[in-house]
Structures are given as structure tokens and as C-alpha cells.
Chain A
Amino acid sequence: MNFLTSHFMSDIFLGATNGVLYGLIALSLVIVWRATSILNFAQGAMAMFATYLGMTMTEHGLNFWLAFALAIVAGFAMGGVTERVLVRPLYKRPEINSIVVMVGFLGVLESAASAIWSSSPRVLVSPFSQNYFQHGNTTIDLSPFALFQIGAALAVMLGVGAIFQYTKIGLQLRASALAPEVARLLGVRVNRLLTFGWMLSSAAGVVAAVIITSSSSIFLTPSVMDGFFVFGFIAAAVGGLESPVGAIVSGLLIGLAQQFLLDYAPSGLSSFAPVVILVVALMIRPQGLFTTTKARRV
């Protein structure tokens, strides 16, 4: 048990907890990128907005789990509406169009959240204790809440993986992303599936936002997801944007690197870790660490 309380394991626990969150955000970005070749810069803001809706429910006395579920439903709906209204006109347009629109949407959502809920920090309380587990007189840097975060993130990752790999809709979604024209010739309603891809991605992002902001050390503000989004985005880029597994592994890598640098390197260096990893990874493999397919334009 001494090992579990060691400094090394402490870094692993703390780093992995952040890492799975980055991985989940990265996964959400990869789903949308694979399906529609659009980088959803508003992903964090959409998740933030749905989380505010959930938070409002808890303020009105709804319990955490129901509010969580409603936030996820709101995430599904937001993803679908966003694809139909904002994103669909962007297909087959220059990439800069989608970047401008999605960054603009990020601004709109954050402003709207400030207007509705004010920008003062709000609290979303999870039912899990954030006190670290004790072993004798020593502390293991892992709390029931951290286990909840890791568990929920892993559950979403496995769920998304299972949908993609084993269900009809998953197969059709993959086909729509890989070969939209062939899919249409086989009768697949590609547009509907792309909408579904956005819904799935958005809901996964909401899970990340809820489990991040229900921590007692992080308050809900309109810009709460900005930092997490940047790290999630870097994880997706390091993984190669195409690879769900790459996104998750890169997220973990970045979380761990941050934690170890925080501990062993001069202060301030840890915030650079993700960027350094991004630069080094892209220098070694410009197509991303986990991309096996060749470059393609959809």
C-alpha cells in the first residue's frame, strides 16, 4: 500500500484524472471532425451552456443525477440543432468559413450564458466526496469524486466506441464519414447521420463539462471550458484528429505530463507541457501519432 501513497502514484492519479477529461473532450472533437471535417471550436461552450441548464435545474431542487441527465439531453438537442442550422451550410465551403462561424458561435454562447446566468461563479454540487482516500495516516491522492470522473469518462468512451463498432447506426455513421457518396448510393440517409454524429459529440462534451464543473475546486462560469477545450483540442491534434483512440491516449499523456512537470519542473513550466507535446508530436509525425489512414479530403 505504500506504493499507492507514493509521490509517483499521486502524480499518476491526479494526472490521469485530468487526462481522461482532456481525452473525452478530444474524443468529442474527433467524432465531429471525422464525420464532417469541421473543427468545433464552440464544443466547450456548447457543453458549458448545457451544464448551466443542468445547474439551473439543481437550483430548483432537482437532484444531481436528473439534472445531469437533462443536461445530456440538452447536449444532444444542441448538437442536432447546431448541425442543421449552423453547420450544414458550411459543408463544401472553404475551411475558413467553418472556423469563423464556430469561433463566432463560441462567443455568442459565452455572451448568452453571461446574460442569462451572469458571469459570477456558480456551484454544481456532485453527490461524491472529494476527500482523498486515507491509508493509515497517509493520503492516497484519489477521491470518490475523482473515481466518478474517471468512471463517467471511461463509460462514455466505451459507449461511443460500442455505438461506432457494433450498432447499425454506428456503421452507417462511419460509412457516411468515410465515403458519403457511396453511403448515399447504398440508401444511407447521410445527412441524418451527420446530424446524429454532432448530437453524439455534443452529448459527450456535456458529460465532460458536468464532471469537470461539479468539482468543488472548479466553479461554473461562462468561460470555464476554455482552458479544458484548449488541452482537449491539443490532445485531438496530437492523436491525429482522425483517431478516437489516439484522442483518448493523447489526452491521458497530456494530463500526466502536466502533473509530472508541475511536481518535478520549475513552476510555470507545466502549463507549457501540452504545447510542447503538440509541437514535438507534429514534428515527428505531422499526420498525428495515431493516424493510420492516409490524408483524405471528404
Chain B
Amino acid sequence: MISVHGLSVSYGAVRALDDVSFDAAPGKITAILGANGAGKTTLLRTISGLVTPKAGTITMGERTLVGMKTEDIARAGLGHVPEGRGVIAEFTVEENLRLGAMAANVDLKTGLAAQYEQFPVLGQRRNQHAATLSGGERQMLAMARALIAQPKVLLLDEPSLGLAPLVTQELMGTIKDLCASQNLTVVLVEQNAKSALRIAHDAVVLHLGTVAASATAAEVAADERLRQYYLGLVEQ
């Protein structure tokens, strides 16, 4: 479980996050929603130690993450699938997965088998370079590469970006299943609020770096004001 409390981040004079707090529980998907520039990606990057906060605490279970190196946070059980997926295009599918398994000290053979079972298309393309994969396949690879390390917490940054609606739907289904079957704590950053709210249990709405709302996904989805002003979900 991830607990963020009073988190503030500045880029020079620009305040990217201001006093942000939320909890994400195991076996649940917590959606972080908001427009461009709301601070969603900064929030994930701060949890992963890529950005140093000005104030606030982040804990994963018993561990305090602020001040830890990114690679140590990853080794402690945090998987982060970055925006734009971050698959290494020059590597084959299997090399990407091997890389994911290495630091986590998991058995490579069983790990690969499990991921190929979860994402059969990756098994079929194991020796292809990641550059040759479609957008949806790359997203699968990025998720499989994070999952092979058996993380306790999974941060997903805009997984639906650039994907066709059907592929997005399928992907969201996969995320939901994984979360439930592996008791994962999933933090899902999405601009596509509609599809994120469909699978999320809880939702945090960010607006210009502050928490505009924090409630269950159903409550957020039902709140007309939030839908209109922050999520751009206007009934046609």
C-alpha cells in the first residue's frame, strides 16, 4: 500500500504539486485524474524517486520512500510503467523482460512463462525487437516487464495514451484482473477519465497540483461538477 501525505514539489518557481495526500490500498485501483499539467506524472515520478519533493512523506508499507534512490525503490517492490511506455526499442521483447526480472531476483524461466501466459502475443514475438511492436503490444510489454519483478505496487502512467478504444478497453480489463488476482496496489494515472473510472475503486482528481477531490470512483463519476470542470466528461 502507498500512502502519500502533504506532498509538495516545485520545478524552480513553478509549483507542480501542493500539499497532495492520498492512500492507495492493496487489491484496489486508485485512479489519478486531471487535465494536462495537473501534476499527475510528477506525482508518480516523485513516488519513484525520480523527482525530489520539497515537503511531504511517501510510504510503501512500512518503508519511507522519500530519500531512497529510484533503483532501491524499484527493488523494494515498486513497479513503474512510465508515460510513453519506456520499452527499450533496441531490445527484443525477451531482453526487455529479462531486464525487468534481473534486479528483482526472481526465477527467470518461471517469470517469463507466467508473462507469456498472461500476454500470449509477447510469447509469439519474444525474439522481435520492441521497435516492431504495435502501440498496444508495447504497453503489454511494458506492463509485463514491470510485473515479472513481482511488485507489490504498480504505477501506470497513461497506459491508454495513443491506443484505439477497443485496445484500451481490453487493457483496462487486464489491469483490473491483475490487480485482483495478485492483490496489487495499482495507481493509475489517466487523462482518459471515463475508462479509468470504469475499473477504478478510488479516484483522486488533481487540478493545478492540488487535490480537487478524493473519493470512491463511483462518487467521482457521479459528481456533475467534477465531471464538467475537471474531467471534461460532458454528457452529449
Q: Is the CB of A186 within 8 A of B100?
A: yes
Q: Give the complex CA separation of A182 and B180 in angstroms.
A: 26
In the bound complex, residues from chain A placing their C-beta under 8 Å from that of B104 are 187
Q: Is the CB of A186 within 8 A of B82?
A: no
The A156-190 residues at the B interface (CB cut-off 8 A) are: 168, 171-172, 174-175, 178-179, 181-190
Q: In terms of DSSP, what is the predominant structure of the interface of chain A?
A: helix
In the bound complex, residues from chain B placing their C-beta under 8 Å from that of A187 are 71-72, 74-75, 102-104, 149
Q: Is the CB of A185 within 8 A of B48?
A: yes
Interface size class of B (residues with CB under 8 A): 20 to 34
> For the complex, is B98 an interface residue (Cβ under 8 Å from A)?
yes
> For the complex, is B99 an interface residue (Cβ under 8 Å from A)?
yes
> For the complex, is B121 an interface residue (Cβ under 8 Å from A)?
no
In the bound complex, residues from chain A placing their C-beta under 8 Å from that of B95 are 171
Q: Is the CB of B82 within 8 A of A181?
A: yes
With contacts A179-B88, A184-B50 known, is A189 near B71, CB below 8 A? yes
> For the complex, is A2 an interface residue (Cβ under 8 Å from B)?
no
Q: Is the CB of B71 within 8 A of A175?
A: no
Q: Give the complex CA separation of A183 and B50 in angstroms.
A: 12
Q: Give the complex CA separation of A186 and B69 in angstroms.
A: 12
| Interface-centre pick from A182, A188, A190 (highest chain B CB count, 10 A) | A182
> For the complex, is B90 an interface residue (Cβ under 8 Å from A)?
yes
The A119-174 residues at the B interface (CB cut-off 8 A) are: 168, 171-172, 174
Q: Give the complex CA separation of A183 and B96 in angstroms.
A: 10
Smallest CB separation, B84 vs chain A (Å): 10
Q: Is the CB of A186 within 8 A of B145?
A: yes
In the bound complex, residues from chain B placing their C-beta under 8 Å from that of A185 are 48, 50, 70, 74, 80, 82, 86
The A263-298 residues at the B interface (CB cut-off 8 A) are: 293
Q: Is the CB of A175 within 8 A of B75?
A: no
Q: Is the CB of A184 within 8 A of B71?
A: yes
Smallest CB separation, B213 vs chain A (Å): 29
The chain A residues found within 8 Å of chain B, CB to CB, are 168, 171-172, 174-175, 178-179, 181-190, 293
Apart from the given pairs A172-B102, A185-B70, 13 other A-B contacts in the complex at a CB distance below 8 Å = A171-B98, A175-B88, A184-B70, A185-B48, A185-B74, A185-B86, A186-B102, A187-B104, A188-B71, A188-B99, A189-B71, A189-B103, A293-B90
Q: Give the complex CA separation of A221 and B150 in angstroms.
A: 55
Smallest CB separation, B144 vs chain A (Å): 12
| Interface-centre pick from B75, B82, B103 (highest chain A CB count, 10 A) | B103
With contacts A182-B86, A185-B48, A187-B75 known, is A175 near B99, CB below 8 A? yes
In the complex, per-residue mask of B146-182: 1 if CB is within 8 Å of any chain A CB, else 0: 1001000000000000000000000000000000000
Smallest CB separation, A21 vs chain B (Å): 29
Q: Give the complex CA separation of A174 and B91 in angstroms.
A: 9
Q: Give the complex CA separation of A198 and B18 in angstroms.
A: 41
Smallest CB separation, A186 vs chain B (Å): 5
In the bound complex, residues from chain B placing their C-beta under 8 Å from that of A171 are 91, 95, 98-99, 102
Smallest CB separation, B108 vs chain A (Å): 10
Q: Give the complex CA separation of A183 and B88 in angstroms.
A: 9
| Interface-centre pick from A178, A184, A187 (highest chain B CB count, 10 A) | A187
Indicate which residue in B72, B75, B99, B149 contacts A183 across the interface (CB closer than 8 Å): B99
In the complex, per-residue mask of B80-113: 1 if CB is within 8 Å of any chain A CB, else 0: 1010001010110001001110111000000000
In the bound complex, residues from chain A placing their C-beta under 8 Å from that of B98 are 168, 171
Closest to B142 in A: A182
With contacts A179-B86, A181-B82, A293-B90 known, is A186 near B99, CB below 8 A? yes
